[in-house]
Structure 1
Amino acid sequence: MVKFKKISTKLIVLAIVVALVPVVISSGSSLSTLQNNMNSQMHETLVSDTNLIESMLNDEVASLNSLSKYPTKTSGMVNSIQDKDINGVKTRLIQLTEGSDVAYVAVTDKNGNFIASNTNDNLDASGIVNKLKNSGKDSGILKLSSTFMNGFPKYKIEGVSEGIGLASISEISDDGQVIGYLLMVRILNNNVELVDKIKSITGNEVTIFMDDIRISTSILKDGARFVGTKSSGDVYAETRAGNAYDGEANINNEDYVTIYEPLYDLDGKYIGMLFVGTPKSALTGLMNQLMIQTLIVSLLGLLISIGLAFFISKSISKPMALLKDGAEKFSKGDYSHRVEVNTHDETHDLAESFNEMADNVVKLNKTLDMDKAKLAELLEEVSSVMHGVAEGDLTGRMSNADDEKSLEYVINAGIISTGELITELKEEITILDNEVHKIRKELEDAKETSEQVSEAASQVATASSDQSIKLQDATDQLELTSQIAKDLYGNAEDTVQLNTEIEDNSQLGVKKVENAVVTMQKITNVIDNLGKSIEELGEESKKINEVTTLIKDIAEQTGLLALNASIEAARAGEAGKGFAVVASEIKSLAEEIQKSVEDINKTIVGINGKVTTTIKLGTTGREEVDKGVIAIDEVNNAFMQIKESVNRATAAVNNIKEDSKKASVSTDDALRNAQDIASISEEFTATAEEVTASTEELDRVISEIEQIAKKVVEVAERVEKSAERFKIE
């Protein structure tokens, strides 16, 4: 490490460092801040340029849309389509593309079917028309197929088959009726006018990508456009995910500060990227220039600081040299020398302090010469008093000890404090001796108590062991009782199950009896109805009997009439023969009717007899049915009593089941408690044995304490004898 001997050199170095450090820090901070500001400004510029590209692309789309609307309103175009003049339409389309950068113009009918285009091979682009129609937009950016791009060699890029273009459609109408569509396409592949125009405005490089391939760029390589090349995979993946890439990129072996923005078609589908960047070398050159300027300013500041440091060091080092010279003379015994400094600053104050110190030293020397004799007398008195203290005489005192700050007062106070300390020590030793004797007495009592505890612990251990054996026997009995309770609980469960089955069967029997009662009731009702019907039949048969009686009377009267007719026919002679035959037939018919009526009466009498018998049987059957109903009621009552008995039995068995379950649980609890008690008993036995061992250890400790107490007594006696030799009063 470099060491500087002169303060002037140190001041110069310090001034240089003090001047250099802020310059370096401020320069570094300024450069860092400037670089951050430049990076931030560059980022904002690139973002603004990216927005400008998107805006210009939208303007191009809008311009193309406006351009496509004009031809659709001309009568020539409308008439050519109406007349199906394809050559006329084609001629007009070719005229539209002359002098413009529109690559493709086509006309379709109202259904989107191709009619004509400006290309020689009549390239069909009706798919583009239909895509625009289906999207609901009349213009936008879209991806062009390889088939479409094959028709435009001017825009072909080696190794690239597809392309990106701006497309617009406009309706062709006649009297408000749509008769077709006009399509215009501007291809962006190799379209340098757009990127160069943006570069001329922003000053930054511009590139349009299809997916990850450059199709139009302002960047040159060997004088040619840097198209057909790919971006880095990281950039493509980031924009493909829908994010902008903001950072550095190496393009054509040169680093660029860049922004890549995703590019979407009119359906919102990713089709490529927009790039804006500026060479990093331009920023590096600017930063280097700023660093040089900063370095020059720092050097100028450093030179000025060094000049000021020399001036300041001289103004400080000169008074310091005078102070050094004065101190050297003073150290050599020249107490009359004084330092003269007129700087009116801290060095002036330091010189004044030095001169004052010299005056005080002169006064101190005079004082020391006067106090030498007094000091010799004081030392002799101190030696005498301290010699007495060494002999054990604490009654000696220093004279002239009134001043509390004097050595005499301090020595006397020390002797007095020592005497008081020895007195207190004697008293404490006496107290200690008494306490030690008490401890010995207590230790003897504790030893006796320990022996008693040991004997009691031994007895407890023996009792606990016996209790553990008895508890084990009780545990075995409880296990057997627990098993019996569990078996009883199982049998109770089986009995409950059987009672449940009996209850179900009795319930079924009750239902069957109730059904039988209902059936018997129905039979009773049928018999009653049958009796009523038979009684009604008897009444009707009586009515038939009355009718037959009437018919019999009519037959008798008819017979009388036939007899009278026969008499009258006999009187009439030949004229009444025919009437006589009729009268004879009527008489025969009356007789047959009368005979039939008699047969009917006999039959009715028989029926009436059978009806009477049937009524009696019905009454008898009804009485028997009533008896059957009574018997079934008695059976039903018996079943109900059986059911009630089963219910009571079930309840009783359930109580037995619950009681057996509780007994089982209680037995298990008792078994666990017995086992726990057995464990506790074993632990108690072990604890008693440990207590016995502990009391033995306690006896040993008490013995050791007794030995220590004896030694303490001996030490106290020796200390007391030593303290006795001090004379205090």
Structure 2
Amino acid sequence: MQASKTITRTSQIVGACLFLSAAAMVATFVLFQQAEKDLETAFEQRYSSYLLADELRQSSDDLTRFARSYVATGDERFKEMYNQILAIRNGDAPRPKGYNRIYWDFVAATGEPPRGTGKAVSLSELMREAGFTEAEFAKLEKAQANSDGLVKLETKAMGVVGDGDASAGELREARKLLFGEEYHTYKASIMKPIDEFFVMLDQRTAGAVEAARSRVSMYSWMFGISITVAVLLGLLAGLGLYSRVLRPVSRLRDAMLSLSENKRDTDIPAVDNRDEIGEMARATEVFKTNMEETDRLREQQAEQERQAAEERRASMHKLADGFEGSVGAVVDNVAASSGQLEELSQTLSHHADKTKTESTAVSSAAEQAASNLQAVASATEELSTSVREIASQAEQSAQIAQQASDQSVRTTETIQGLATAADRIGQVVTLINDIAEQTNLLALNATIEAARAGEAGKGFAVVAQEVKTLAEQTGKATQDIQHQIEAIQGETREAVSAIDGISNTVKHINESVAAISSAVQEQEATTGEIARNIEDVTKASETVAQSISGVRDIAEETNQSAERLRSESATFQSGAKELRGEVDRFLGEVRAA
């Protein structure tokens, strides 16, 4: 039982390995996706941090620019924009949208903000939300502390201009405060920690980006390795299944197919395997052994049955030979006697029939002669009347013959038109036959091209063959039509010739009508003489008929007796033949058993 589960256990192990490799591949893919998101977040944080830091630097420059512009021009707009920059940076005023883009240059030029505003939030709070470190804030606080001197200097200069009654010297002194060496010294002391802040910010965000990029690279490698491991495990599993399962099963299947085809010399593979396939192979081996034993028993039984059948057949043949010798001769003698009796009855019947036939013929001839003579007598009396009627009908016949002559002319013209139409039909049939021959030729060419095309031209070859068949059928049909047309033309010519003959005959009829009129008069005189002669012959015929009637009655009685004898002999002979057939059938069945 333990050995029979080898393949199952192997399949479970392979499945577990494939599952673990798939799980590892999914896990590394998820980590890779998360690392890519972290890298994207690091890039976004680096960029947003740079924008906030750049806003701090840009706002410092804008404060300097508007302070100088106010001192130089005394325009209150520049002072107001100076104060707005401080209010926005400290969170006291709403922050403009897109503040990192160009803003104060447009306000200075037009007096109107280029975009709307959002909520009020200080720059330091935005920096904390962006993840600025305490060390970075320390640099900013240092810059803030260093800016006090610069603010006092700017406030002093702007205060001189704000009094409105400053002298030219005081204005010149105020401008000197914003453009002098002291101003630049304060400015540099502020920008130095800001510059250090930029360096720290760049290092921090660059490190975060690099760390995220390293994780992406690491998880990418891990994902590739997991895919490679999964593929290798799949290949190894496939090779293992093929070598341990598929190939033995395929060989075992071939062996089973050979056994199903009664190939008893087939070797059963994998009989020694200690797994499920080995069990199947051993079961197949038992099946093969049982088949061989069954064949041996079947052959042994067939041989025994054959010997018993031979012995039984020999006994039956011996019995049949004895029966045929004792009974067959008697049956043959009976059949021969009945045949001779039938021949004698047929001879007697033949002579009686002949006598009856001859007497009947003589009697019929006599009666017919008497009847004919009587009819001739009656006909003679009517002949005179008919002769006069013939003269009248002869004149009408002449008129009808003339009409027939005219009709034959019209019929000739109609048949000539029919012959012309038949000729035209023959031309059309010839054209159809030519088209059929061309179609047959095209179909033959298409069949050749389809044969050259190979497998792709089989469908076209079938269509070409159908077209060729239709063309051949069309050709045969046109030939049949041509033959019919030729027959019609021949019949038409014969009809024309016949009608010409009819016309000539009608002319001869006209000529004969005149001759009939003169012959009628001569016929009337002859009719009276014929009537007298017929009366004498009729009396002689009646005497002959009475004599023949007695002979016919005697022949009829003889024929009836011969017929009864022939019927009995035929029945006797039929029984003898039936008996012989039954004997032969019985002997045949006995010998065949």
Compare the two structures and name the one with the higher helix fraction.
2
Normalising to structure 1: TM-score of the pair? 0.22
Normalising to structure 2: TM-score of the pair? 0.25
Compare the two structures and name the one with the higher strand fraction.
1
Higher RCO, Cα 8 Å, sep 6+? 2
